[in-house]
């Protein structure tokens, strides 16, 4: 910690940002490289922190230091604060380490007084300007430092303009403004009960204090929370000699960017106002003029500004956002900072800066925010829409969707297929809803989190999804949705913004995805430097092709269960589940086999030459059956209709059919018998904790015929596509292994089936396992004896390590935890480094101990999260696998991790 709290501008530089704040360091750096800036000094962030720690009182010596630096500034400028002759006026501005535009306070024109206003007028030869500066000071100081409500001053100003019959502030003359100063002072006295201090040094002390305090104002606190800025950094305070853009026609103030921050194009971009001070541009009192017009109004200053913009961009090697003032023909820069920009602009800017030789490729990659690429890969809301959201949920899958509200998957599938744009709105989706999800433009759920079914499926398909919008009340019976007092019916159109989580009533305008040349070029640079491989999670040929287009180097996870959910498959899958003997089950599996084979053929063909990891069936069987409660209700309804409750509760098909025949054999009775039969099976298969139940390898060992069917389909598909000239790279993956013996036994089934199918035909394939249970990570060495590769399933591994349900937590306590800061980040979105990350590390090490060089990746949702990708690279995994649309993000994140 430094032993001083105040630095002259001449002592600062760009790398002192933590101490001097962004603005202080930026202005000092500009001065250092010879860009014209006003003189001044900076009170450090450490001073603000020290004052915060002392409950607002200043640390010893701080005021003396400020006074000493003020004295020195007066010496350098030959001017004095508040003096009648050659008065010094200063601005007092906040300046945090991370820019928080407009969130904290600023006081301009400090040092003006009844004495110095005369001197200022004489010097400028412009009494109006001097009195305008004075009234601005009283107004700003009164508001910011003494807490007088803004409207109290604005009302007086409006009243005066009305009396004078003028519309613009600039139409008031010096005498009007002189009167206004007196009025403003009286207004302040009314509100504070005392006169404003007249000693400018006392005003300075109070102003610095007010800027410190503005770090803690509610809007700054909200901004910090939204942008992940720590609360304990404090702000610096910059005290700089005033330069005046309001001295008449030879003066101006403005803001500009060195390139267009929307498109990235190298062109003039900015606005200015003649005869104005900075806040006039921002406040929208007068309409600023496009920067290009400055060329005719103030040609010399304009030329100098262009040269300075160029210089600053070269110096920082990045797009700059600049504030400037022209004081009676002389240009001053007041601030320069890295300009915020769209994803499209970010790519174009770095690409062109590399082409221009300003930065190298590594620097370019470091500049980019991988998460921002998401903006480009989905249709997005037109940024200028200006609408207010109806409600908000989690931004579960990015992009925007517009469509009519539909409350059930079947209708969504029907209307969607018929070409209507629909949005599926559900309490929560389940695998049964898949057809509706596919046919919908987007998905909105009232319940569930970032890894809920709806979220994962939607992301996988690149479909916008807002999940867990808790304010939605879905009235399925009334076929409507309530959001507060707003009622949406199935005829209403809504717009989802999956990038932000906002939900809007009506149809808002969209802009299409933008995979541009810049995108391709910059991601090519990323591929040149990254070590980590990037694969995709894809379940269809179409997704596989999309993933390949986006740069995937194979499929790291093909979830086969989704294939069983298609409307033509589900009845056969149910038959298979309900089969009463091996023969009936085998018959159902025989019917599924060619369908499954066709699925794999498409995928192998799309990924020819690249590895494809196919996971054997994972979810518990009841997921393919109707919901227990819904089925019970159906049975009840049918019972009411039939008026007979004597149907059997258990038994074989024959028992139920026998009852139906005996009960009269009507259609409804037959339906009741079937519904009862299904209900019995749903009951039999239902588990209290299905995610910890009969799923994954457990299910496969219980019903090896299912796995065998899948392996057969894989073998036949591989042979078929190879015969057609493709090059399939087959990887078979076993889910939810916890004991090495499970994998050993499963391998026997897989290898035996493969041998049978291939009948001597050479087809290389490997068998590996998911590591998604803590035990599996801990005994990874033993498991590796039977596994040729590992794929860490960090979704289940997070769920089982933390003991937090991936489907329920985010709507409830985890959200509260995140808000209260009990946990810093959502562990289902960004890997829990210390817990789950450590298990991945241990699992990899132990696995490789038993099998050196064991190939290993991650296929949980974390594979597309930049912070998690960095950890996986660090640990030494071979690849990550993520949704196709996150592949570019992972490519960039993997590259950045090596820099």
Find out whether 795 is annotated in a ligand binding site: yes
Binding site for Mg ion (CB under 5 A): 772, 793, 796
Closest approach of Cβ 871 to Mg ion, in Å?
19
Closest approach of Cβ 447 to Mg ion, in Å?
20
The binder of 343, among Mg ion, ligand PEP, none, by C-beta within 5 to 8 A per type, is none
Please enumerate in sequence order all residues whose Cβ is within 8 A of that of 238, keeping only pairs 6 or more positions apart, or say none: 21, 23, 24, 27, 40, 41, 42, 43, 91, 92, 93, 94, 95
Residue 372 or 694 with smaller CB distance to ligand PEP: 694
β-sheet with 90-96: strand ranges across: 6-8, 40-43, 235-241, 90-96, 106-110
Distances from the Cα of 701 to the Cα of 364, 394, 692, 705, 708, angstroms = 51, 38, 16, 9, 10
Nearest CA to 259 out of 211, 204, 216, 322 is that of 322
- DSSP 8-state code for residue 422: E
Residue 375 or 795 with smaller CB distance to ligand PEP: 795
Find out whether 601 is annotated in a ligand binding site: no
Find out whether 119 is annotated in a ligand binding site: no
Binding site for ligand PEP (CB under 6 A): 557, 559, 618, 772, 793-796, 859-860
Q: Which residue of the set 69, 447, 453, 562 is catalytic?
A: 453
Could you confirm whether 378 is annotated as catalytic? no
9-15: long-range contacts at Cβ-Cβ below 8 A with a sequence spacing of 24 or more?
9/37, 9/39, 9/40, 9/41, 9/42, 9/240, 12/42, 14/316
Find out whether 794 is annotated in a ligand binding site: yes
The binder of 557, among Mg ion, ligand PEP, none, by C-beta within 5 to 8 A per type, is ligand PEP
The binder of 94, among ligand PEP, Mg ion, none, by C-beta within 5 to 8 A per type, is none
Find out whether 253 is annotated in a ligand binding site: no
* β-strand partners of 289: 272
Residue 669: Cβ within 10 Å count: 20
Residue 321 or 796 with smaller CB distance to ligand PEP: 796
Closest approach of Cβ 896 to ligand PEP, in Å?
23
* β-strand partners of 332: 325
Q: What are phi and psi of 666, to 5 degrees?
A: -70, 165
Q: Which residue of the set 465, 558, 859, 882 is catalytic?
A: 859
CB distance 655 to 661 below 8 Å: no
Closest approach of Cβ 814 to ligand PEP, in Å?
17
Residue 544 or 680 with smaller CB distance to ligand PEP: 544
The binder of 205, among ligand PEP, Mg ion, none, by C-beta within 5 to 8 A per type, is none
Give the Cα separation of 811 and 445 in Å (integer).
11
Please enumerate in sequence order all residues whose Cβ is within 8 A of that of 829, keeping only pairs 6 or more positions apart, or say none: 450, 451, 861, 862, 865
The binder of 409, among Mg ion, ligand PEP, none, by C-beta within 5 to 8 A per type, is none
Find out whether 615 is annotated in a ligand binding site: yes
The binder of 436, among ligand PEP, Mg ion, none, by C-beta within 5 to 8 A per type, is none
Closest approach of Cβ 659 to ligand PEP, in Å?
40
Could you confirm whether 703 is annotated as catalytic? no
Closest approach of Cβ 534 to Mg ion, in Å?
20
Give the Cα separation of 560 and 600 in Å (integer).
9
Distances from the Cα of 820 to the Cα of 443, 775, 801, 804, 814, angstroms = 28, 31, 22, 18, 10
Residue 6 or 770 with smaller CB distance to Mg ion: 770
Closest approach of Cβ 39 to ligand PEP, in Å?
59
The binder of 859, among Mg ion, ligand PEP, none, by C-beta within 5 to 8 A per type, is ligand PEP
Find out whether 479 is annotated in a ligand binding site: no
Q: Residue with CB nearest Mg ion?
A: 796
CB distance 764 to 718 below 8 Å: no
* β-strand partners of 732: 614, 767
Residue 466 or 882 with smaller CB distance to ligand PEP: 882
Residue 26 or 793 with smaller CB distance to ligand PEP: 793
Q: Which residues are annotated as a binding site?
A: 559, 615, 772, 793-796
Q: Which residues are annotated as a binding site for Mg(2+)?
A: 772, 796
Q: Which residues are annotated as a binding site for substrate?
A: 559, 615, 772, 793-796
Tell me the catalytic residues: 453, 859
């Amino acid at each position: 910690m430094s032993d001083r709290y105040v630095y002259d501008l001449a002592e600062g530089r760009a790398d002192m940002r933590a101490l001097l704040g962004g603005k202080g360091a930026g202005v000092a750096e500009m001065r250092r490289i010879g860009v014209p800036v006003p003189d001044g000094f900076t009170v450090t962030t450490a001073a603000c922190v020290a004052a915060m720690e002392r409950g607002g009182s200043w640390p010893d010596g701080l005021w003396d230091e400020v006074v000493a630096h003020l004295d020195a500034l007066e010496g350098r400028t030959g001017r004095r604060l508040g003096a009648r002759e050659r008065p010094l006026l200063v601005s007092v501005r906040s300046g945090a380490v991370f820019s928080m535009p407009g969130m904290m306070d600023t006081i301009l024109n400090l040092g003006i007084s009844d004495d110095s206003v005369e001197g200022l007028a004489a010097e400028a030869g412009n009494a109006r300007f001097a009195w305008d500066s004075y009234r601005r000071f009283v107004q700003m100081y009164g508001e910011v430092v003494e807490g007088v409500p803004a409207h109290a001053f604005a009302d007086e100003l409006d009243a005066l303009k009305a009396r004078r019959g003028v519309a613009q502030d600039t139409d008031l003359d010096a005498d009007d403004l002189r009167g206004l100063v007196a009025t403003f002072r009286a207004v302040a006295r009314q509100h504070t009960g005392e006169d404003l201090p007249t000693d400018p040094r006392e005003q300075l002390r109070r102003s610095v204090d007010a800027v410190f305090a503005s770090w803690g104002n509610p809007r700054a606190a909200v901004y910090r929370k939204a942008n992940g800025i720590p609360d304990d950094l404090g702000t610096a305070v910059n005290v700089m000699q005033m330069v005046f853009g309001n001295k008449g026609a030879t003066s101006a103030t403005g803001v500009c960017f060195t390139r267009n921050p929307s498109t990235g194009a190298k062109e003039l971009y900015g606005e200015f106002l003649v005869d104005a001070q900075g806040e006039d541009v921002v406040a929208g009192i007068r309409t600023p003029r496009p920067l290009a017009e400055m060329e005719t109004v103030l040609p010399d200053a304009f030329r100098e500004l262009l040269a300075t913009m160029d210089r600053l961009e070269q110096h920082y090697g990045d797009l700059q956002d600049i504030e400037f003032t022209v004081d009676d023909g002389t240009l001053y820069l007041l601030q320069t900072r890295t300009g915020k920009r769209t994803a499209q602009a970010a790519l174009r800017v770095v690409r062109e800066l590399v082409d221009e030789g300003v930065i190298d490729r590594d620097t370019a990659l470091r500049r980019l925010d991988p998460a921002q690429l998401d903006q480009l890969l989905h249709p997005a809301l037109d940024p200028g829409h200006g609408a207010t959201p109806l409600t908000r949920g989690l931004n579960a899958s990015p992009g925007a969707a517009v469509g009519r509200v539909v409350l059930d998957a079947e209708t969504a599938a029907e209307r969607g297929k018929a070409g209507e744009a629909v949005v599926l709105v559900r309490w929560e989706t389940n695998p049964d809803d898949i057809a509706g999800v596919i046919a919908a433009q987007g998905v909105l759920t009232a319940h569930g989190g970032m890894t809920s079914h709806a979220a994962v499926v939607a992301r996988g398909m690149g479909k916008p999804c807002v999940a867990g919008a808790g304010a939605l009340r879905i009235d399925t019976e009334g076929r409507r949705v309530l959001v507060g007092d707003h009622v949406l019916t199935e005829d209403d159109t809504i717009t989802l913004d999956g990038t932000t989580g906002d939900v809007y009533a009506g149809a808002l305008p969209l802009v299409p995805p933008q995979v541009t040349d810049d995108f391709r070029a910059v991601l090519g640079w990323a591929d040149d430097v990254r070590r980590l491989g990037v694969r995709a999670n894809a379940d269809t040929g179409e997704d596989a092709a999309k993933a390949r287009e986006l740069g995937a180097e194979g499929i790291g996870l093909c979830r086969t269960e989704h294939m069983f959910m298609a409307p033509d498959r589900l009845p056969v899958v149910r038959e298979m589940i309900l089969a009463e003997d091996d023969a009936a089950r085998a018959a159902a599996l025989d019917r599924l086999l060619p369908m499954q084979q066709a699925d794999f053929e498409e995928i192998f063909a799309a990924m020819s030459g690249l590895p494809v990891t196919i996971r054997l069936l994972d979810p518990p069987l009841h997921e393919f059956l109707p919901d227990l409660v819904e089925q019970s209700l159906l049975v009840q309804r049918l019972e009411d209709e039939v008026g007979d409750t004597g149907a059997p509760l258990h038994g074989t098909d024959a028992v139920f059919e026998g009852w139906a025949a005996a009960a009269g054999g009507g259609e409804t009775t037959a339906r009741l018998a079937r519904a009862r039969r299904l209900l019995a099976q749903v009951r039999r298969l239902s588990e209290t904790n299905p995610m910890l139940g009969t799923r994954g390898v457990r299910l496969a060992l219980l019903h090896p015929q299912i796995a065998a069917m899948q392996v057969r389909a894989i073998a036949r598909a591989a042979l078929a596509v190879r015969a057609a000239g493709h090059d399939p790279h087959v990887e078979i993956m076993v889910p939810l292994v916890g004991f090495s013996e499970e994998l050993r036994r499963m391998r026997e089934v897989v290898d035996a089936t493969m041998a049978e199918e291939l009948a001597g035909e050479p087809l290389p394939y490997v068998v590996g396992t998911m590591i998604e249970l803590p035990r599996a990570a801990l005994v990874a060495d033993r498991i590796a004896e039977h596994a040729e590769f590992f794929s860490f399933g960090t979704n289940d591994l997070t769920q089982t390590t933390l003991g937090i349900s991936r489907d329920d937590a985010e709507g409830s306590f985890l959200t509260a935890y995140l808000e209260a800061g009990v946990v810093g980040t959502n562990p289902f979105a960004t890997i829990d480094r210390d817990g789950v990350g450590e298990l991945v590390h241990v699992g990899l090490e132990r696995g490789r101990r038993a099998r050196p060089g064991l190939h290993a990746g991650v296929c949980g949702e974390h594979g597309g999260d930049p912070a998690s990708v960095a950890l996986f690279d660090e640990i030494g995994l071979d690849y990550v696998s993520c949704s196709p649309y996150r592949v570019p993000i992972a490519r960039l994140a993997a590259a950045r991790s090596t820099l």
